[in-house]
Amino acid sequence: MAKEYRHPISGCIYTVNAQGLVNVHDPKTGQNGVFDSRGVWFEGEIRDVDMQALGWVGRSPEARAIREATS
């Protein structure tokens, strides 16, 4: 299972997707966003994220392994 992180203040859930990018989901609003580990936005309604949390999830060993396997 890919790494998951729930932000303690916003409540957003950060997970790694099948491409090794980071999905950010806000359970309060139902909105989503997709970013790389450097904060580059790819799609979705969410465009403002916690860069620290994004880095923790997007640069995890799981995320790197997925990116290496798909490239």
Strand partners, 16: 22
Task: Report how many domains make up the chain.
Answer: 1
- Helix (H) / strand (E) element for 54: namely helix 51-58
Strand partners, 14: 5, 24
Give the pLDDT of residue 1.
40
Could you read off the pLDDT of 27-55 as tens digits, one per residue? 999 999 999 999 999 999 999 999 999 99
CA atoms of 60 and 43, how far apart (whole Å) = 21
Could you read off the pLDDT of 1-17 as tens digits, one per residue? 457 899 999 999 999 99
Instruction: Say whether pTM exceeds 0.95.
Output: no
Where in the sequence is the domain holding 59, given as residue range(s)? 4-70
Q: Which two tokens stand for residue 36?
A: 């790389």
